[in-house]
Amino acid sequence: MNHRLSDEHEQLRRTVAEFARDVIAPVIGDYYERHEFPYDIVREMGKLGLFGLPFPEEHGGMGGDYLALGLVLEELARVDSSVAITLEAGVSLGAMPIHLFGTQEQKAEWLPRLCSGEILGAFGLTEPDGGSDAGATRTTARLDEATNEWVINGSKCFITNSGTDITGLITVTAVTGTTPDGRKEISAIIVPAGTPGLTVAAPYSKVGWNASDTRELAFTDVRVPVRNLLGERGRGYAQFLRILDEGRIAIAALATGLAQGCVDESLKYARERKAFGRPIGANQAIQFKLADMEMRAHTARLAWRHAASKLVAGERFKKEAALAKLYSSETAVDNARDATQIHGGYGFMNEYAVARFWRDAKILEIGEGTSEIQRLLIARELGLADLNGAR
């Protein structure tokens, strides 16, 4: 693996780093404290083409790859995770299912507006009683042959980008029947925003990611045309497993950005803050803590880039994605804790970025598959699942 970025990738990284520093950093703290979605920032991200990065130009995208998306997410999260997760969910969960599994008509209808940032897409997977057991889906979709419509009933929770003023669609997983062996047949269906019967709850009161949109959804006899089926009927479970595998690389890049942001802020503070007549960075205890933080962020970066390189090359990447997501999310939590400690009492004050980083870090060990699920996936990839039936 060549760890050097191409000139094109490096230019993209620099451009987004400058955007994050000059446009996002000065204002995002106020959005965060007001729990307000940053529409103007999202609009500027759309103008930069960030929502269309990994999609083909024929559908309004930039013709880039998943490495480019990861670089952007890392640089955004280095300053703020609310903005980064808005992009990550909009691309990986909102537009990617349409790109991978949609018909030509569905792609033509949705992708240009998703790629431009004119609208956001959401992915309705998690349910109140489901959590990590995504196969326990209870939401149903019944085919009404008289009207040629799907009739959807059920609920989803923790859905990012599902209730903004620019949300355009929600892809919903639902039980559409029973397989020959008696299991649930799960399919994915596109539900346009504003469809009658779709109820979008008020935003959650969250610990972190306070400038992003996260809501619960209810479906009461929601009717959409049969053509809104995304991909093959009964393949919804397999489809969202692929979406999650790719999304874990994106979350790993985001977590790496948060971890590096903790290093950035702590280095600056260690040089400026004086105690006992000298900068606290002169103390070996602070130096060692920062060295460990940099080591973890660097290793996390190598992990997500390695997983992305395998994805871009068309190689199997499930284990590498799980490794990257597990390590980088735990690195984000560790670095946020250490950054807060370095800042002392100021680290507990919301005016400092590390307080925001600390609040944002923990969800990274939960969303897109918990740390426990990542360890399970890695163990399976090592062949240990075969031992369950051994005697």
* Residue 377: closest CA among 333, 329, 326, 331: 326
DSSP characters for 155-216?
Answer: EEEEEETSSSTTEEEEEEEEEEEE-TTS-EEEEEEEEETT-TTEEEPPPP--SS-TTS-EEE
Give the relative orientation of helices 318-343 and 284-312 as an angle to the nearest 10 degrees. Answer: 160
Token duo for residue 136: 């326990």
CA distance 27 to 31: 7
CA distance 129 to 113: 33
In sequence order, which residues have a C-beta less than 8 Å from that of residue 359 and are 6 or more positions away?
Answer: 207, 208, 210
CA distance 385 to 379: 7
Q: H-helix or E-strand containing 313?
A: none
Query: Of 272, 368, 372, 381, which is the active-site residue?
Result: 368
CA distance 13 to 104: 32
* Residue 199: closest CA among 173, 163, 232: 163
Buried b (16+ CB within 10 A) or exposed e, 50-67: bbbbbbeeebbbbebbbb
CA distance 382 to 72: 31
Please confirm, yes or no, whether 368 is among the known catalytic residues. Answer: yes
User: At residue 302, what is the residue type?
Assistant: L
Which active-site residues does the annotation give? 368
